């Protein structure tokens, strides 16, 4: 590497320019590009091919071409559409926790003294650095129907224990709250920072003009926070399913009755965990294309509606 | 290793070893040079009794066979097949594996499991099979050949809380024998105590289909046609069994808890009855100690039809290709299915003894069985044990999942049982080999 | 595979702490504000606190629900340490996280430098392709990568945990952004002095990106430490596993061992928590700079 860099300096101007734009940047890029090509792009290409085959990974069994059968199988899964629907619920459920509540908190606590704010900030950020497996274990412990702290407290007030992870009507909301627990501090911080960045003279001017507190929020703060809010919404939609995956995996396995499964988990369950390459490759392609389309649309929307202050 | 068995085996081998040399599949008579074999075991994947006992057995085996080193590899029971499959695909072929029975067929068809009849001299094999329960032995037989020896296996047991029975005005000495009685008892318990009636391990992400198969079969239902081409779990007998569970649930006697929650609820005295593998007995005993009287009965039947339970659990299978490793693997397999190992497996991990003769023998399980009456229904069912069937073809796991999800929707999800099972059967049939 | 959003984050404002407006906040408002924040803080912190408290209860009091342990005991820790090789696992995790951090920073600096310094054919395309890798979920590439690791003979080795992380979009994009805002004049001056590109990178640019590099160090380290699925796929023996795998060994089909599970979880979180206590401000700043990991 260093030799290539050295050579750029030696020769004529012309040669230098050639080397500069032909070789050198690629030498600098090589380690990163090679890594990503080998570990991400090549598998992706391979997966698109294998999604048309039936194969169990074993060198002794042939890869049999089955056309669209793997895709047909996946789309015919009784739970596929339930999982898709649940994915929507996850997103809708996460939006208030990951965006709305943090937004309200950020605006509301704007006036707290700096020291107190720093203190709270340090605490609410803790879930973000806790490992998902640890978080899942701890929540399982807290919510255990028999001995869990939360249910002990509920029965103390004379209610029947709640089956947070066993009741099909409740379980998905439990997973949403746990996922939200991880994120709420983070979102709050991002929004507080954005809120703090708003030029105080704007607010001051509005106040002089006799704007009420709510009017200031509505007409000044919210519009100025728009791009940050949009960003968080986008992240939630794109990654909500990913974030909850670890909790579904450890806590419910998609159950009860598939109530907590989402598109990620069902593809994992039927495709990846059984190592039938055709199924999992088809699932991979579906995931990748699905995400690609959603991301593309969202970024277009964001470009259009995002509004750059300062 | 039981020295006597070993000696007999070795002698038998000396006598017959010469008869097979040309086959090339036969294995050397002894392990006369150091060899390391890998042993994939799901008890090793968790911290606790199972892992400790397994490690101890391995150490004992190594001490008795100084030339053989055993590398234990742990993977949870849900993952172990895919783990083994992945390693075979990667060319790191495991030597001895603990294979869940529902994956046995896949192992034989795809992973190159060795038929014991082909690699072990006949007399030696016979000597080792002596004393093994014929039903247990049959579990590892496929196409007339023995590919696996039942290792940790168990039957469905109806655990019940005798104190709750008393509190509900039921006779704890006379536990329910039929599903109708289960329903009545469950309702009595929910009415008169704060506890739930019955929980089962039939459904849930890690449940597989073994308990469910036993329920279907007990009502003379089946998974598929005898030629294994057409699925049959939506036939009337099977649907009727599913409808029974649905009715049990609708009546309020049956509570829907996931596996962990059900175990813990039973262990802490919050459920009256619990139908589950006997393998969790240790956990329940620990929880009930000093708190309530834990007892066990056989799996409930449908009216007068005899119950037809099938096993859960695993068999040991040899995958190694190399003759010397195969010998070492066979030695390990022999040890792990010996009287001594079975004493540990039964008393410490909580499975069934594959060898019936050690149950009475005070040198082995004799005293333990007397002190632990909970094992009785398990032993009783060993005599009527049927095979845990697996679906054919490369999509067998997805077929199983589809069936279980259909049944779960029918029982807990409010879908009409016949409709749910038919829908599941239809989409699963498309995944069957053509 | 971790997911990050650095490439697409709108300019998230730097974390300048707001000066509290001098007037406006009435006493009542303030105390409601405190109340809201206190509730949120308890919600966020309590599970972690409960994990530590449970881990310190004597074995026979694990199911106790008193808010603090009546008699602290290390029973659960002793049991957990004896049951699985936790110390070795922690060591492995530390090693993997440290190596991944260093290597990712290195490859990231090189790649970012290429984008910042030269214009070359396909540079935009390459940049986009790198950024797009965050759209690829881990599950999608899991099986082919597993086979590749197997072909390399690296199953059940720490090297296999490190290799796919040799480069990551996050590091490249964050460093590229930081370099773009690097004053051109300094670069030009260095070039005039006859410094070669290699030396400019390490002697002029890298030292000036200390802030970004520090943030990345924290981010990469924490996310590698917390990684679960890739090690789960690869680990065969506890001795070659990372700590996240160790934790789930206490959640078994034969019942969950809550006390030891909480002890193992505490031990797994402690290094990160300590790092956080020591470098709280920097940690938060790093996460905010990068988007969500």
pTM of the model: 0.84
Residue C152 CB neighbour total at 10 angstroms: 13
Structure confidence by residue, pLDDT tens digits, B124-175:
999 999 989 888 898 999 889 999 999 988 899 999 999 999 999 999 999 9
B235's tokens? 């036939």
Mean pLDDT in residue range B377-388: 87
Q: Tell me if B361 sits within 8 A of B355, measured CB to CB.
A: no
Does residue A273 have a pLDDT over 70? yes
Residue C107 has a pLDDT of 96
User: Per the domain annotation, does C282 fall within a domain?
Assistant: no
Which of helix, strand or coil describes residue B37? strand
Does residue B220 have a pLDDT over 90? yes
Residue C27 has a pLDDT of 64
Residue C166 has a pLDDT of 94
User: Considering chain B, what percentage of its residues have pLDDT values greater than 70?
Assistant: 94
Residue B14 has a pLDDT of 40
Which residue out of A96, A98, A129, A178 would a mutagenesis test of the C interface target, given it has the greatest number of C Cβ atoms within 10 Å? Answer: A129
User: Per the domain annotation, does C270 fall within a domain?
Assistant: no
Phi, psi angles (nearest 5°) of residue C235: -70, 140
Residue A241 has a pLDDT of 78
Q: Which residue on chain B is closest to C264 by alpha carbon? A: B47
* Banded pLDDT at B236 (limits 50, 70, 90): very high
Question: Are the beta carbons of B48 and C150 separated by less than 8 Å?
Answer: no
Mean pLDDT in residue range A2-26: 51
Question: Are the beta carbons of A256 and B258 separated by less than 8 Å?
Answer: yes
Residue A254 has a pLDDT of 83
Contacts of C50 (CB under 8 A, 6+ apart): A138, A141, A142, A149
* Banded pLDDT at A21 (limits 50, 70, 90): low
* Banded pLDDT at A41 (limits 50, 70, 90): very high
Q: Name the minimum distance, in Å, from the CA of A168 to any CA of chain C.
A: 21
Higher-confidence residue: A7 or B151?
B151
Structure confidence by residue, pLDDT tens digits, C146-163:
888 888 888 888 999 999
- B205: nearest CB among A72, A255, A275: A255
Give the β-pairing of B156-161 and B294-298. antiparallel
User: Considering chain B, what percentage of its residues have pLDDT values greater than 90?
Assistant: 57
Does residue B414 have a pLDDT over 80? yes
For residue C137, what is the domain's CATH number? Answer: 1.10.3720.10
Does residue B4 have a pLDDT over 70? no
* Phi-psi category of residue B285: left, alpha or beta, with phi > 0 → left and psi -120 to 50 → alpha: alpha
* Banded pLDDT at A6 (limits 50, 70, 90): very low
Give the domains, in start order, of chain B with CATH numbers: 3-153+312-382 (3.40.190.10), 156-309+392-429 (3.40.190.10)
Omega into A256 within 30° of 0, i.e. cis? yes
DSSP A21-86: HHTHHHHHHHHHHHHHIIIIIHHHHHHHHHTTEE--S-TTSPPEE-TTHHHHHHHH-HHHHHHHHH
Contacts of C139 in chain A (CB under 8 A): 264, 267-268, 272, 280, 283-284, 287
* Banded pLDDT at B419 (limits 50, 70, 90): very high
- B263: nearest CB among C84, C151, C255: C255
Mean pLDDT score of chain B: 88
Contacts of C78 (CB under 8 A, 6+ apart): none
Question: Are the beta carbons of B261 and A77 separated by less than 8 Å?
Answer: no
Mean pLDDT in residue range C10-18: 43
Q: Name the minimum distance, in Å, from the CA of C134 to any CA of chain B.
A: 26
Q: Could you give the number of structural domains in chain C?
A: 1
Least confident of B118-122, B215-219, B346-350, B427-431: B346-350
Contacts of A105 in chain C (CB under 8 A): 36-37, 40
Radius of gyration of chain A measured on its C-alpha atoms: 26
* Banded pLDDT at C253 (limits 50, 70, 90): low
Q: Tell me if C234 sits within 8 A of C149, measured CB to CB.
A: yes
DSSP state of B224: B
* Banded pLDDT at B302 (limits 50, 70, 90): very high
The whole-angstrom separation of Cα C266 and Cα C52 is 6
Q: Which residue on chain B is closest to C261 by alpha carbon? A: B47
Does residue A288 have a pLDDT over 80? yes
The whole-angstrom separation of Cα A231 and Cα A226 is 8
Q: Tell me if C287 sits within 8 A of C293, measured CB to CB.
A: yes
- B265: nearest CB among A145, A252, A275: A145
Q: Name the minimum distance, in Å, from the CA of B154 to any CA of chain C.
A: 14
Q: Which CATH number fits domain A78-305: 3.30.870.10, 1.10.10.10, 3.40.50.150, 1.10.3720.10?
A: 1.10.3720.10
Radius of gyration of chain B measured on its C-alpha atoms: 22
Structure confidence by residue, pLDDT tens digits, C154-188:
888 899 999 999 999 989 988 998 888 878 787 77
Structure confidence by residue, pLDDT tens digits, B202-211:
998 778 899 9
Does residue B21 have a pLDDT over 50? no
Mean pLDDT in residue range A248-253: 87
Structure confidence by residue, pLDDT tens digits, B328-381:
999 999 999 999 999 998 888 778 888 888 988 889 998 888 888 888 888 888
Structure confidence by residue, pLDDT tens digits, C203-241:
888 888 888 888 888 889 988 999 988 998 888 888 889
| ipTM score of complex | 0.83
DSSP state of C13: P
DSSP state of B279: G
B339's tokens? 């009287």
> Within its chain, how far is the Cα of B405 from the centroid?
21
Residue A306 has a pLDDT of 63
Structure confidence by residue, pLDDT tens digits, A291-303:
888 888 888 887 7
Q: Which residue on chain A is closest to C55 by alpha carbon? A: A138
The enclosing H or E element of B73 equals: strand B68-74
Structure confidence by residue, pLDDT tens digits, A121-149:
888 889 988 999 999 999 998 998 777 88
Residue C116 belongs to domain spanning: 85-248
B285's tokens? 């005993």
Mean pLDDT in residue range A197-208: 84
A26's tokens? 């690629």
To 5 degrees, how large is the angle CA A104–CA A105–CA A107?
A: 65
The whole-angstrom separation of Cα C125 and Cα C121 is 9
Structure confidence by residue, pLDDT tens digits, B65-124:
999 999 999 888 878 888 898 888 888 899 999 999 988 988 898 888 999 999 999 999
Q: Which residue on chain A is closest to C110 by alpha carbon? A: A28
Structure confidence by residue, pLDDT tens digits, C104-113:
999 999 999 9
The enclosing H or E element of C198 equals: helix C197-199
Mean pLDDT in residue range C127-141: 85
Which of helix, strand or coil describes residue C235? coil
A238's tokens? 């794109």
Neighbours of chain B (3+ CB pairs under 8 A): A, C
The enclosing H or E element of C250 equals: none
Does residue B241 have a pLDDT over 90? yes
Contacts of C180 (CB under 8 A, 6+ apart): C116
Long-range residue pairs from A40-45, CB within 8 A, at least 24 positions apart, any chain: A40/C1, A40/C133, A40/C136, A40/C141, A41/C129, A41/C133, A42/C144, A43/C140, A43/C141, A43/C143, A43/C144, A43/C145, A43/C148, A44/A284, A44/A288, A44/C136, A44/C140, A44/C141
Least confident of A249-258, B34-43, C10-19: C10-19
Residue B265 has a pLDDT of 87
User: Considering chain A, what percentage of its residues have pLDDT values greater than 70?
Assistant: 92
Does residue A152 have a pLDDT over 50? yes
The whole-angstrom separation of Cα B263 and Cα B252 is 19
Q: Name the minimum distance, in Å, from the CA of B221 to any CA of chain C.
A: 28
A160's tokens? 């029947």
Which of helix, strand or coil describes residue B202? coil
Contacts of B92 in chain A (CB under 8 A): none
- For chain A, the domains span 2-50, 78-305
């Amino acid at each position: 590497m260093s030799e290539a860099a050295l050579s750029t300096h030696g020769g004529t101007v012309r040669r230098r320019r050639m080397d500069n734009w032909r070789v050198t940047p690629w030498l600098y890029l090589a380690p990163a590009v090679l890594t990503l090509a080998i570990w991400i792009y090549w598998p992706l290409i391979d997966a698109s091919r294998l999604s048309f085959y039936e194969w169990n990974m074993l060198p002794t069994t042939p890869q049999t071409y089955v056309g669209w059968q793997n895709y047909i199988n996946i789309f015919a899964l009784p739970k596929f559409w339930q999982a898709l629907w649940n994915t929507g619920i996850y997103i809708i459920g996460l939006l208030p926790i990951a965006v709305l509540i943090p937004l309200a908190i950020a605006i509301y606590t704007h006036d707290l003294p700096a020291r107190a704010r720093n203190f709270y900030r340090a605490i609410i950020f803790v879930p973000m650095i806790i490992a998902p497996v640890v978080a899942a274990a701890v929540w399982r412990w807290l919510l255990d129907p028999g001995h869990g702290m939360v249910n002990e407290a509920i029965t103390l007030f004379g209610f029947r224990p709640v089956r947070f992870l066993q009741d099909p009507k409740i379980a998905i909301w439990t997973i949403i709250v746990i996922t939200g627990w991880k994120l709420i501090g983070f979102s709050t911080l991002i929004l507080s920072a954005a809120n703090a960045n708003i030029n105080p003279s704007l607010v001051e001017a509005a106040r002089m003009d006799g704007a009420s507190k709510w009017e200031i929020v509505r007409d000044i703060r919210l519009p100025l926070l728009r791009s940050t809010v949009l960003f968080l919404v986008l992240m939630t939609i794109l990654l909500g399913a990913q974030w909850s995956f670890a909790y579904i995996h450890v806590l419910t396995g998609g159950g009860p009755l598939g109530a907590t499964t989402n598109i990620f988990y069902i593809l994992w369950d039927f495709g990846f965990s059984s190592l039938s390459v055709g199924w999992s490759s088809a699932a991979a392609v579906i995931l990748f294309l699905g995400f690609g389309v959603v991301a593309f649309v969202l970024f277009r929307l964001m470009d259009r509606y995002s509004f750059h202050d300062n | 290793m039981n020295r006597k068995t070993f000696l007999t085996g070795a002698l038998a081998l000396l006598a017959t070893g010469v008869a097979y040399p040309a086959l090339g599949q036969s294995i050397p008579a002894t392990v006369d040079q150091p060899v390391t074999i890998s042993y994939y075991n799901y008890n090793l994947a968790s911290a606790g009794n199972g892992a400790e006992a397994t490690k101890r057995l391995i150490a004992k085996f190594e001490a008795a066979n100084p030339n053989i080193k055993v590398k234990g590899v742990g993977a949870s029971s849900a993952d172990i097949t895919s783990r083994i499959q992945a390693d075979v695909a990667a060319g790191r072929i495991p030597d001895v594996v603990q294979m869940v029975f529902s994956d046995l067929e896949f192992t034989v068809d795809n992973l190159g499991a060795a038929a014991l009849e082909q690699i072990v001299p006949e007399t030696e094999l016979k000597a080792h099979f002596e004393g093994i329960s014929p039903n247990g032995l049959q579990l590892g037989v496929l196409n007339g050949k023995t590919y696996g020896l039942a290792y940790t296996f168990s039957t469905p047991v109806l655990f019940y809380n005798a104190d709750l029975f008393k509190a509900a005005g039921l006779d704890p000495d006379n536990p329910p024998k039929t599903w109708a009685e289960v329903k009545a008892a469950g309702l009595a318990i929910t009415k008169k105590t704060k506890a739930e009636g019955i929980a089962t391990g039939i459904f849930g992400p890690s449940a597989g289909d073994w308990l469910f198969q036993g329920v279907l079969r007990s009502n003379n239902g089946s998974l598929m046609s005898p030629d294994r081409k057409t699925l049959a779990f939506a036939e009337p007998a099977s649907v009727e069994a599913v409808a029974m569970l649905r009715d049990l649930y609708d009546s309020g006697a049956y509570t829907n808890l996931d596996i962990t929650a059900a175990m813990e609820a039973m262990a802490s005295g919050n459920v009256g009855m619990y139908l589950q593998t006997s393998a969790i007995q240790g956990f329940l005993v620990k929880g009930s100690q000093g708190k309530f009287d834990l007892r066990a009965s056989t799996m409930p039947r449908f009216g007068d039809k005899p119950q037809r339970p099938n096993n859960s659990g695993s068999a040991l299978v040899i995958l190694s290709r190399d003759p010397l490793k195969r010998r070492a693997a066979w030695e390990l397999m022999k040890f792990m299915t010996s009287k001594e190992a079975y004493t540990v497996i039964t008393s410490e991990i909580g499975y069934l003894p594959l060898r019936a003769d050690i149950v009475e023998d005070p040198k082995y399980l004799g005293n333990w069985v007397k002190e632990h009456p909970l094992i009785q229904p398990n032993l009783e069912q060993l005599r009527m044990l049927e095979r845990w069937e697996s679906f054919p073809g490369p999509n067998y796991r997805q077929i199983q999942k589809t069936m279980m999800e259909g049944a779960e929707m029918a029982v807990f999800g409010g879908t009409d049982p016949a409709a749910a099972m038919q829908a599941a059967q239809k989409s699963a049939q498309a995944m069957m080999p053509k | 595979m971790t997911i990050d959003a650095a490439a697409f984050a709108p300019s998230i404002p730097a974390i300048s702490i707001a000066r509290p407006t001098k007037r406006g906040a009435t006493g009542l408002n303030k105390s409601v504000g405190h109340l809201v924040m206190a509730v949120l803080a308890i919600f966020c912190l309590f599970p972690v606190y409960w994990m530590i408290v449970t881990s310190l209860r004597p074995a026979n009091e694990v199911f106790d629900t008193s808010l603090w342990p009546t008699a602290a005991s290390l029973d659960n820790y002793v049991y957990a340490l004896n049951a699985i090789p936790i110390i070795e696992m922690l060591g492995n995790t530390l090693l993997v996280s440290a190596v991944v951090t260093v290597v990712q920073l290195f490859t990231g600096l090189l790649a970012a430098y290429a984008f910042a310094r030269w214009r070359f054919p396909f540079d935009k395309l390459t940049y986009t392709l790198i950024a797009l890798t965050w759209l690829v979920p881990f599950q999608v590439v899991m099986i082919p990568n597993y086979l590749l690791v197997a072909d390399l003979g690296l199953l059940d080795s720490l090297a296999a945990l490190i290799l796919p992380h040799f480069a990551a979009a996050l590091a490249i994009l964050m460093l590229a952004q930081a370099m773009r805002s690097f004053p051109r004049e300094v670069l030009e001056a260095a070039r005039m002095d006859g410094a070669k590109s290699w030396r400019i990178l390490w002697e002029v640019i890298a030292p000036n990106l200390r802030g970004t590099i520090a943030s990345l160090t924290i981010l990469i380290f924490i996310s590698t430490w917390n990684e679960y699925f890739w090690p789960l796929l690869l680990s065969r023996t506890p001795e070659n596993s990372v700590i996240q795998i160790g934790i789930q060994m206490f959640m078994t089909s034969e019942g969950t061992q809550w006390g030891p599970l909480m002890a193992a979880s505490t031990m797994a979180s402690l290094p990160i928590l300590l790092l956080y206590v020591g470098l709280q401000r920097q940690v938060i700043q790093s996460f905010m700079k990068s988007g969500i990991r």
